[in-house]
A and B are shown apart, each in its own frame.
Chain A
Amino acid sequence: MFKMSEYSFIAGVISVGLALGCYVIAFVAARVMRQRTALAGVGTGGGTIGVDRRGGVNLGAYGTLLVYLALAFLTASLVFRTIATGHGPFANMYEFSIAFAWGTLAMYAYFERRYHERALGLVALPIALALLLYAMTIPATIDPLVPALQNNLLLSVHVAVAVVAYGTFSVAFAAAILYLVRGEDGRRGLPSRELLDEISYKAVVIGFPFLTLTIVLGAVWAEVAWGTYWSWDPKETASLVTWLIYGSYLHARVVRGWRGERAASLLLLGFAATLFTYFGNLFFGGLHSYSGLNNQ
């Protein structure tokens, strides 16, 4: 099982890398050809390579296929690992990085299906790839669970919910980056600003309830394990900071003047906070110091 998990993981990494390659080439080709159809994006007209549109290779579509393939491999990897370890992917940074990458890919795939904007992948896939490459630097050994982590169901749900939230924030971040990169004029063949703005918003609309639930479940676990629902542990606090930033983003959109670039900047800030919360284990210490990278 352990080996199967490892192989699926590697296959997943390769698939993400190839998918990203397809997207980049398709995007660059599209720019070179300066095709701007109504849905000017990587996917539709832009994905075609070669002079003859019909006879060309639609690299964008292959990219999407590879994303699905990568998702399948990573799912398999996580399932095999869960069987091998007997618990969800929450015990160390290796497991959680794969889960985070999985969430990013899954949410990206969902939003690509819904909005048909492969340009998002130009940012979302590198995030997933970076997480996976980071996971590769961590020993994948299976260590037994310390007593505090032996609350399988609660922790598995806590992490599963967090993974969805983090995944949507990756997508919101991707759309915000494109929004800012694209600029007013939109010369670069990217989706319209309105659409990017909406994608960000819709992503946070999914992510925010999930982040809220993550924090609440974390509080339940803390109450059961440490006798208090809140102890201002750095990781808890960082997740609260993240929550406040995304909460601000949602409210900011109600104020007219905050639409657009300012809202997009809040999303960058929010994603920075997400990563800070996520990687916090490595330097916070505190009750969440289960990174598996120190002697714990």
Chain B
Amino acid sequence: MTQTVRTQAIPRADRGPTDDLDAGRTVSPADIRERLWHFFISMRTGLALMLGLAVLGLIGTLLVQAPEGLKSDPQAYPAWLESLRPRYGGWTGVLDALGLFSIFSSIWFRGIVMLLTTSVLACSVNRAPHLWKQAVHPRTNMSETFFAHAPLSASIAAPTHPDAALAEIQAAFRARHFRTIVKGDGDTIHLYADRFRWGPFGTVIAHLSLIFILAGALIGTAWGFRNTGLAVPVGSRVDVGYGTGLSIEAKSFTDSYYPNGSPSDFTSDLVLYRDGAQIDAATIRVNQPLRAGDVTVYQSFYGAAAAMKVADPTGTVVFERGVPLEWTSSDGKHRVGQIILPDVGLTAYVIGAASGEVDPQIKPGQMGIEVYTSGSEGSPIATGVISQGQPAKIAGLDFTFVRERQFTGLIVARDPGAVFVWIGASLLVFGISLVFFFPSRRAWALIRRRPGGSSIQVGAVVRHDVSFEADFKRLVDELKLALTGPSAI
């Protein structure tokens, strides 16, 4: 009652001027808590959030999404947006401002996920005590009125003693794997029967599983990493970084093809080092990663690499490793790799012809070299083309193109949240299966002594369950036959 009054006391903007504010009524914290609670346990809220999430998901499949990590790149992102302009025209800016090109990290998406999680939690907290009570302390005694109004009910007048009737009814329920609880004595007996009484807890499990999944996702984002582009030239060792102390050496890479030219297999022989000491070695392929502790290494891509050697004027070797030609030039005709020489403050680019491209300047067996001052943009301080095995001086350094190699492209990831996601996913499947494949069923009976026998009422509350309805009818028929049929005395 009081609640209704309060509800009306809160002024609504669309009601125009009201005296309520002047009347000095305020919204108390308890009031707000109450309203929030009702908001979150409302199924309407839940539906709106679920369907809202579905709409965002739909947008995410229909609109091009920015590749992972691109948004934080101040140069690449605008260029990427520009490439969308022919498609979305003037809308490009609007869509971008709304965050729709990275919808799954947008405020909309995060907001709805947070609200939905809160709602799911609230619903479970709201509902669980009731379910617990139903399973553990079910209401066993039902009144006449219940049987009169129950969706499924039947009355039987039997020329039997109530105890005999009870035994018959119990047997019928037990044959259907129902548990029975009997209350009362001689003249009035209450019987309660249920099956799969833990089934409804599936909803609670399913709801809570979402919390696990979300927690797993958050933990993964906060403490995990995922490098999708670790290129390791065959014969070289590359640091994994991210504070893992790991480095990976590629012993070999093999790509195999079917006769029709489509790829059949990619494998890399890897050796894994931690702080310089070998800790693992394995052959990995697509679908067969290397798991070392909490870090996993996946086969992802491959390409050409150049084994390079750079020496300074004193003859000291400052660089000797394979350089993966990871990037493709904007005209698509060249493959480009990078050498960073921190000691001399220079960055060199190694340029080879892309496969199938013929470049009159860079012939097979040759690499183009462009040297820049590290950190500066603009034109190179020196360029040159070198042939395999023949050192050449460029920008005062001796560059040698030792030989062509391949590089294997790896994904290296650590996701400490994944285990929570898998627990959550298992609970989700388990919970949902529990609700749906073990539907809880409940029925009551009231047996009363009458002159010359007993009166029996059986009833059940069902929610769309034709098979239970049919079974209930069969049960009643059985009871009628057993209790009033010719054999029953």
Contact = CB atoms under 8 A, between A and B. Distances in A.
Contact of A241 (B61, B287, B428, B464): B61
A227 B429 contact: no
B57 A226 contact: no
Contacts of B466: 115, 195, 198, 202
A195 B381 CA distance: 81
Contacts of A148: 286-287
A251 B46 contact: yes
B413 interface: yes
Contact of A227 (B263, B285, B411): B411
B262 interface: yes
B36 interface: no
A213 B287 contact: no
Nearest to B464: A198
Given A226-B411, A227-B226, A216 B429 contact: yes
A144 B262 contact: yes
B305 interface: no
B134 interface: no
Chain A interface extent, by class: 35 or more
B46 A232 contact: no
Interface string A19-59: 00000000000000000000000000000000000000000
A216 B53 contact: no
Contact of A237 (B57, B289, B300): B57
A147 B51 contact: no
Contacts of A198: 464-466
B208 to A, nearest CB: 15
B296 A227 contact: yes
B267 to A, nearest CB: 9
B425 interface: yes
A206 B435 CA distance: 11
Given A201-B464, A208-B436, A212-B429, A255 B47 contact: yes
B100 interface: no
A147 B262 CA distance: 10
Contacts of A69: none
B421 interface: yes
B44 interface: yes
A227 B411 CA distance: 7
A213 B432 CA distance: 10
A247 B50 contact: yes
Interface string B429-449: 100110011000000000000
A130 to B, nearest CB: 23
B298 interface: yes
A229 interface: yes
Contacts of A115: 466
B429 A143 contact: no
Interface in A50-96: none
B58 interface: yes
Interface in A277-296: 280, 284, 296
A113 B395 CA distance: 83
B226 A144 contact: no
B292 interface: no
A248 B54 contact: yes
Interface in A147-162: 147-148, 150-151
B264 interface: yes
B87 to A, nearest CB: 14
By CB atoms of chain B within 10 A, which of A148, A223, A284 has the most? A223
A295 to B, nearest CB: 9
A225 B429 CA distance: 22
B99 interface: no
B50 A144 contact: no
Given A144-B262, A198-B464, A237-B57, A227 B421 contact: no
A209 B437 contact: yes
B298 A227 contact: yes
Contacts of B57: 237-238, 240-241, 244
B258 interface: yes
Contacts of B433: 209
A229 B413 CA distance: 11
B314 interface: no
Given A147-B263, A227-B300, A232-B104, 5 more contacts: A195-B466, A198-B466, A208-B436, A226-B298, A254-B43
Interface of B: 43-44, 46-47, 50-51, 53-54, 57-58, 60-61, 65, 104, 217, 226, 228, 258, 260, 262-266, 285-289, 296, 298, 300, 411, 413, 415, 418, 421-422, 425-426, 428-429, 432-433, 436-437, 464-466
19 contacts: A143-B262, A144-B258, A147-B263, A147-B265, A206-B436, A216-B426, A219-B421, A225-B286, A227-B289, A227-B298, A227-B413, A230-B217, A232-B104, A244-B53, A245-B54, A258-B47, A276-B61, A280-B61, A284-B61
